[in-house]
Amino acid sequence: MFEKQLLLSILLATAFVSSSLGEDAADGAAATDAKKRCAGDDGNFLPTATSCSDSIEGCDAVFKTAATANTRDPMCDLEALADVAMKCAKTCAICCENPAFSCKDGRDS
């Protein structure tokens, strides 16, 4: 349990530093693209966005903002947390990016 808490603390610190230092125009464009993940043309998440389970515990400790119909925690889209976000796919509303799930967001699988 302590190891999981330590890992989450390190990941949180990494994400904070990344988000604090990485604000520029390119990041703005990346954020726009990130919003399209598992989303339909109307911007709302597809049903497959949350059709899986998180594969680790404690996702809500890292990604504190719960996903809604069309928004997710911005930390879910940080490159530094990509692996953790995939393990927290339901929390981040990116289940459709897992090959085990079907996604209809314009990407060919």
Distance of alpha carbon 67 from alpha carbon 90, whole angstroms: 9
Interval 28-43: pLDDT, tens: 444 555 568 999 999 9
Quick check: 94 and 37 in contact, CB under 8 A? yes
Domain-by-domain residue ranges, the chain? 2-97
Query: Bridge partners of 45?
Result: 39
Say yes or no to pLDDT of 71 above 60: yes
pLDDT band, very low/low/confident/very high, at 49 (cuts 50, 70, 90): very high
Are 85 and 76 a contacting pair, CB within 8 Å? yes
In degrees, to the nearest 5, what angle opens at C-alpha 105 toward C-alphas 20 and 99?
A: 85
pTM, two decimals, is 0.66
